[in-house]
Structure 1
Amino acid sequence: MNPFPARHRAMLASGLIALLAACSPQDDMETDDRIAPPDEGALQAAARSVLENARNRNEIDGYALEIGTADDIYARISAGDVQSVDTQVAIASAGKPVSAAVLLNIIDEDRGSLRLNRLRLDEPIARWLDGTPAGNTAAAQEVTLRHLLNHTSGLEQQPDCVESELNGSTSLMACATEILEAGTRFTPGTRFAYGAGSYHVAGAVAEAYTGQSWQSLVDERIAAPLEVDLPYLPEDNPRIAGGILTSVADLGTFFRALLVRDDRLMGEADYSMLRTPQTDTNQGRLPNVTATGYSFGLWIEDPAELAEAGTAGPELSAPGLFGAVPWLDDDRGYYAVLLLRLSNYTTGLDLMRELRTEILARLP
């Protein structure tokens, strides 16, 4: 099953992108004056050359890019239809790591607590949906949060209520209930099937468990500590799998936090899980994706490909439908965030690989 059907792409493109600030594309390029690349600009210049070549080939109309390490930002640039490094762009599945981080933050906070019904990765979600129609479904009795976050739940990949959410006609819990009532298509935990349905249900579990809205959880647990803006659309039925609008600077701050294992977001054990394959993706991975593992919101790159590129990794990435690709590399100690406005993700992955080559060749 194609996880990105044509009608889904069309709805997201027309619904999400139409909500972005409208202004005419500009051909001038922007470099954030607050950033002084420690290598005197060689890496920034090489990265811009890769992206400008893609513009000249008419593959992209613009871009925003940030490259950094734990201590320095080597590049923060934009051009074309991404008017500035602060322009908010729809990033689709590139936002899944943020959603996973919210759940892991809640779980981490509860570790060691005396709460009897605390949130856990490996118990059926019916426990936290008790008293709701969703909790009474057969699927809720067998699906766990781990299944939801690593796409092995067996739930429908692209449910109609997730696609139709753009008109705000339902709620997160109502949509999650519909997904669970439809049942599982295979035994949870036995297959990898990438999509939006599982994350929608995970978001509903978080709301039911905490009594807070999804956006308030994101703001409180991720956005406020990092001083970034991560709004999810639409408001009533937020797209947990990919409804974020964000800038390259704000998403870069989040990925820097993942790189340095910022304890304001989650604990060391959670960061280790993010770097450990939770499922094999060789059966069911998307076209042009070479990752051989998936954790929670993050693809884990094939070690053989990384070795050929000149790094031991692990490399974690989250390509999104509209071309956004954030990634980080533990071995070389850097992160990068590429934002584009496209109708496909494969171009973003191709450019990410070109940029990876330039980055690995020029990092100190």
Structure 2
Amino acid sequence: MNRNRLVPLMAAAAVAMAIPAPAQAAPVTEHADTQAVLDSYQAGAGPGAAVHAGNRTHSWEMHSGTADTNAQRSITPDDQFRIGSQTKTFTAVVVLQLADEGKVDLDAPIERYLPGVVDGNGYDGTAISVRQILQHTSGITNDLGKPEADPDGTYSLRETVRAALADPPQFAPGTGWGYSSVNFLVAGLLIEQTTGMSARDAITTRIIRPLGLTRTSYPRPGDRQLATPYLPGYIGGRSGPFFFWFDRTFAWELSQWATAGAIASTARDMATFDQAIADGKLISPTALAQMRTTVPIPGAAGMSYGLGLIRLDLSCGTQAWGHVGDTATGHSSGTFATDDGRHAALVTNTFVQAEGTTTRTQVIDSALCGTPAS
């Protein structure tokens, strides 16, 4: 998401709340190290945070703080929340499935599939490949611009792309790396053009239903709801022993984020999804190898970017694959899986704009490294 544009902290409809800081969850003896890291992360994050982890034979959870500022309860692995940029991995998988089917060439120019869409204002669709779009090496802007809403207040995918491309490129194609949600809006248009169906329907029929992700959904335009139980989202902060939170759970029209960040899911479903990618259940071995061909992420030691997928180098000497996500609805999250069957999904109920001394990837690293391989 474009943080500068999408996250005004004091929106007019916000309702402020101040509550005492809740007690931390009692440590799980077997994973006491991860509990300590999670507690440290939550101290600089939302009212609550939780991790769902495990391997092929068992899973475990731990939590810190509270899921709801109005009711003391722990975040569960089945609480639905908005996964933000973890949506990008779903979008990339569908494009790679289309590549497996011979319908998309990753090294073809985007102009072949979307003639005239990525053109003008410094853009040349004949010089930007599908691969560069999925890997954030296209140079396309990360500014979502000012799209014009339809009469019902929703946004079409084509309009969001048009508005974003009014902003000039970050750099010439293939000459750098620059994170861009607009890349994945373009990828959404590519899916629609190639499949003849909405990106929502393509992701649902190709990934969500086949994997049985019953708590995962790509919302229809105008649908801002979450399925019960859900994790409220907050924007705000803390002062001494008090939280000051603004509930933003239903404040945003999700169609503006579309294939870059609109999906809602749960920690359990996200672990299933990422493990399915690692296990080769969604794309061919050739496509998976392409997805995992990475370039460095500037300023992010131990992390590199493939095609809608992040490689995380773990402290225990292996790699995990997944993505992170942040949304202005007040959710920050991340899910990663390893080839030997370990997985970890983390969520907190605020948009963490600047991580403190403990980061979400440190929590995920601790959970993965503290879980035996299956």
Whether these two folds match at TM > 0.5 is yes
| Separation in structure 1 between the aligned mates of residue 198 and residue 144 of structure 2, nearest angstrom | 21
CA separation in 1, counterparts of 2:361 and 2:189? Answer: 33
Instruction: Tell me the residue number matched to 2:50.
Output: 64
Question: Conserved in 1, the CA contact under 8 Å of 2:311 and 2:319?
Answer: yes
Partner of 1:260: 279
Counterpart CA distance in 2 for 1:127 and 1:339 is 39
The verdict on how the C-alpha distance between 1:177 and 1:260 changes in structure 2, with shifts beyond 3 A counting, is same
Partner of 2:337: 328
Instruction: Specify which of 275, 293, 316 is matched with residue 292 of structure 2.
Output: 275
Residue in 2 that maps onto 1:350: 359
Q: Deviations over 1:86-107 (max 9, x none)?
A: 2111221222212211211222
The partner residue of 2:98 within 102, 106, 114 is: 106
**Is 2:24–2:39's contact at 8 Å kept on the other side of the alignment?**
no
Alpha carbons of structure 1 residues 144 and 163: separation in structure 2 relative to 1, 3 Å? farther
TM-score by length of 2: 0.73
Q: Quick check: 2:45–2:350 contact (8 Å CA) kept in 1?
A: no
Alignment of 1:222-261 (within 5 A): 222-228=207-213, 229-233=215-219, 235=221, 236-261=255-280
Contact 1:92 1:320 in 2 (8 A): yes
CA positional deviation for 1:353: 1.1
- Equivalent residue number for residue 319 of structure 1: 324
Name the SS for the 1:65 alignment partner.
strand
* Greater relative contact order (Cα < 8 A, sep 6+): 2
Residue 298 of structure 1 is matched in structure 2 by 309
Q: Residues 295-342 of structure 1, C-alpha deviation per residue, up to 9 Å, x if partnerless?
A: 0122223x5xx4xx221x233241222430111233x64111101122
Is this contact kept in 1: 2:2–2:181, CA < 8 A? Answer: no
* 1:36 aligned residue: none
User: Counterpart in 2 of 1:35?
Assistant: none
How many angstroms apart in 1 are the aligned matches of 2:305 and 2:207? Answer: 22
Give the aligned partner of residue 341 of structure 1.
Answer: 349
What is residue 195 of structure 2 aligned with on the other side?
A: 210
Contact 1:232 1:244 in 2 (8 A): yes
Q: CA RMSD in A?
A: 3.5
Q: CA deviation at 1:150?
A: 0.5
**Which of the pair is proportionally richer in helix?**
1
**What is the rounded CA distance, in whole Å, between the counterparts of 2:139 and 2:364 in structure 1?**
35
Amino acid at match of 1:96: K
Rounded to whole Å, the distance in 2 between the matches of 1:84 and 1:299 is 25
Distance 1:213 1:275 in 2: 26
Unmatched 5+ stretches in structure 2: 69-74, 222-254
1:152 counterpart = 2:137: yes
How many correspondences in the alignment?
318
More strand by share: 2
Q: Which moved more, 1:89-98 or 1:137-146?
A: 137-146
Q: Distance in 2 between matches of 1:154 and 1:355?
A: 30
Quick one: which of 105, 119, 124 aligns to 1:120?
A: 105
User: Secondary structure, in 3 states, of the residue corresponding to 1:81?
Assistant: coil
Q: Distance in 2 between matches of 1:293 and 1:86?
A: 29
Shift in CA distance, 105/64, structure 1 to aligned 2, threshold 3 Å = farther
Give runs of aligned pairs for residues 164-175 of structure 1, distance below 5 A.
168-175=153-160
**Amino acid corresponding to residue 316 of structure 2 in structure 1:** G
Deviations 1:77-131 (A, max 9, x none): 55621743221112212222122112112221x13xxxxxx2111111222224x
Give the percent of matched residue pairs that are identical in Structure 1 and Structure 2: 23
The amino acid across from 1:337 in the alignment is A
Q: Tell me how far 1:146 sits from its aligned partner.
A: 0.6
